[in-house]
Amino acid sequence: MAANLKKIECEPECGFMVRSHDENEIVNLALSHVSNIHNMRSTPVEMRGKIEPA
Ligand SMILES: [Zn+2]
């Protein structure tokens, strides 16, 4: 069930947040954010660990 809204928040200084019902979408957006904005590599597994209820 994809009814629950979820989110990943970046650091407070950054302010980036992605929120969706779709965990895969959140993970993909967050991965491209850290890569493009922070020039950091992360993994889908790592990003899934950051997902919280929104
Ligand atoms: Zn950020």
- The residues spanned by each domain of the chain are 17-53
CA of 47 from ligand 1 middle (Å) equals 13
For the entire predicted model, the pTM comes to 0.88
Examine the pLDDT at 1 and tell me if it is beyond 70. Answer: no
CA of 11 from ligand 1 middle (Å) equals 6
pLDDT for 10: 96
Distance CA 20, CA 4 (A): 9
pLDDT digits (tens, 9 = 90+) for 11-43: 999 999 999 999 999 999 999 999 999 999 999
CA of 39 from ligand 1 middle (Å) equals 10
pLDDT for 3: 73
Q: Are 26 and 19 in contact (CB under 8 A)?
A: yes
| Range of lowest pLDDT (1-5, 9-13, 14-18, 44-48) | 1-5
Q: Extract the tokens encoding 15.
A: 């302010």
